[in-house]
Amino acid sequence: MTGLQKAAAIFKILSVESRVQILHMLKQRSFCVNALARRLGISQAAVSQHLRVLRDAGVVAADRQGYFVHYRVSPAVLAQWQEVTESLLRLEESGEEYEERIRQRCPRTGT
């Protein structure tokens, strides 16, 4: 996957406001589906669907704690996403430089 494809995949995942809110909350601490649903004012099913997309992208991980599953951000993947998006938005960089930077820094990510 090229750097531009990675950036497009990241922005597609973040194109839903609820997912951005979930990521923001999970950066602070881990939450279960019920707590996320209550705080966001959306259904548990909707939260679960958003978490599936985020888990599939590798940016969110799940930890079972008793009867509940708590979700947390994967710092390594979030750092890669930051590099991809910052590199894309860097004004002085050409397309080739961008592709090379992403290839070097994020050789094998899920996005």
pLDDT tens by residue, 60-101: 999 998 999 999 999 999 999 998 888 888 766 666 776 776
Q: What is the pTM of this model?
A: 0.81
Domain ranges, residue 61: 1-111
Number of domains in the chain: 1
Instruction: Categorise residue 61: left if φ over 0, alpha if ψ from -120 to 50, beta otherwise.
Output: beta
Cα torsion for 100, 106, 110, 111, to the nearest 10°?
A: -50
Give Cα separations from 46 to 34, 66, 89 (angstroms): 11, 23, 31
CATH number at 41 reads 1.10.10.10
